[in-house]
Amino acid sequence: MIKVIIVEDEPTAARRLQKLLAESGFDILALEILDSVKNTAAYLQYGEKPDLILLDIHLADGSSFELFKMLDIDIPVIFTTAYDAYAIDAFKVNSIDYLLKPVRREELIAALQKFARNQPAFLVQDAIKNLVKSSVNQYQKRFVVKSGTQLKAVEVDHIAVFYAEDKVVMMRTFNGHTFIVDFSLDKLETMLIPSMFYRINRKMIINERSIKKISTYFKGKLKIELQIETPFDVLVSAEKVSAFKSWLETGDRSKS
């Protein structure tokens, strides 16, 4: 299955892309339809990571090229636009193809085929990045955070949980203190020791030592009671339950 987000500020064009994707013959899940640079940036930081982005260039609040200045985006992109003046700029980033509106079915299918052919290359690039990171053991030892008007260094093993709330990522320590951190959850996953921390759902990463009790929950989920109090339920999403159990047994996060 190819997980896709559609970034398009014209509802009619967005619906057309949805229809063309559904008729493409590929197994595609549209995770989200977004209509602005701001909303797309927030989703890419805190939402489920897609395999592919269909990205209009002119959005209501600016150019989508601003996203590549704001974020480190390593996701393949198919650009869709009414203008042909940006093709060179498009191919300077992670562009699979550049489609002019109105997007034609055969052109979109050709772009998806190109993505499918190149997908192993993107997977290899990710694997190389992970291998290099593991080989030099550059996992985060501490985080520097603001505490009032001062800066404070918090050791990683003092952190019970990271979570996204109102488009901000927070961390809570075992002694109950909460701080804002300047990294997305996607980025934190690459920075934290895999055997110690696990991302249990889209909005939360927990420390293995913070787990007090695990119970079954509705719709195949698991509910976790932590060593610290939280103002929200701590749930393992159904699609992560199997990998989460494996991680608890082996400390191996590679299957998550």
What is the number of domains present in the chain? 2
CB 35 within 8 A of CB 85: no
Tell me: cis bond preceding 102? Omega within 30 of 0 counts: yes
- Residue 202 sits in a domain of what CATH number? 2.40.50.1020
Buried b / exposed e over 116-132, threshold 16 CB at 10 Å, is eeeeeebeeeeeeeeee
pLDDT 10s digits, 141-159? 899 898 888 888 999 999 9
229 shares its domain with 111? no
Can you say whether the dihedral through the CA atoms of 201, 204, 209, 210 is positive or negative? negative
**Which tokens in the block code for residue 172?**
């809570």
Same domain, 106 and 174: no
Within a domain: 56: yes
Residue 35: CATH number of its domain? 3.40.50.2300
Whether residue 255 is contained in a domain is answered as no
Encoded tokens for 106: 């055969």
Three-state DSSP at 168 gives strand
User: What are the pLDDT digits (tens) for 125-137?
Assistant: 454 445 444 444 5
Decide if 206 contacts 227 (C-beta within 8 A): no
Q: Are residues 228 and 182 part of one domain?
A: yes
Do 106 and 169 reside in the same domain of the chain? Answer: no
* pTM for this entry: 0.49
The answer to whether residue 84 sits within a structural domain is yes
Residues 6 and 130 in one domain: yes
In this prediction, residue 255 has a pLDDT band, given cuts at 50, 70 and 90, of low
- Of 135, 155, 184, which residue sits at a domain end? 135
Within this chain, do residues 162 and 90 fall inside the same structural domain, yes or no? no
Is 129 found in the same domain as 157?
Answer: no
Q: Does residue 107 form part of some domain? A: yes
Instruction: Give 167-222 as a 3 state SS string.
Output: CEEEEEECCCCEEECCCCHHHHHHHCCCCCEEEEECCEEEEHHHEEEEEECHHHCE
Angle of helix 11-22 relative to helix 105-136, nearest 10 degrees, comes to: 80
9 and 106: one domain? yes
| pLDDT band per the 50, 70, 90 thresholds, residue 253 | low
Which domain does 179 fall in, by range?
142-250
Task: Report yes or no on 256 lying in a domain.
Answer: no
- Of the three residues 112, 135, 158, the one that is the final residue of a domain is 135
Taking alpha carbons only, the member of 234, 200, 230, 231 closest to residue 215 is 234
Judgement on whether residues 203 and 102 belong to the same structural domain of the protein: no
Residues 150 and 75 in one domain: no
Structural domain includes residue 65: yes
Mean pLDDT of 7-19: 94
Q: Select from 76, 100, 135 the last residue of a domain.
A: 135
Residue 69 CB contacts under 8 Å (≥ 6 apart), including other chains: none
| CA dist., res. 248 & res. 255, Å (int) | 12
Determine the Cα angle at 28 with ends 22 and 33, to 5°: 80
- Whether residues 155 and 128 share a domain: the answer is no
Q: Are residues 147 and 106 part of one domain?
A: no
**pLDDT score for 197:** 94
Task: Give the pair of three-digit tokens for residue 12.
Answer: 């009619």
CA distance 65 to 158: 39
Q: What is the pLDDT of residues 182-241, one digit of tens each?
A: 999 999 998 999 889 999 999 999 999 999 999 999 989 999 999 998 878 999 999 999
Instruction: For residue 189, tell me if it sits in a domain.
Output: yes
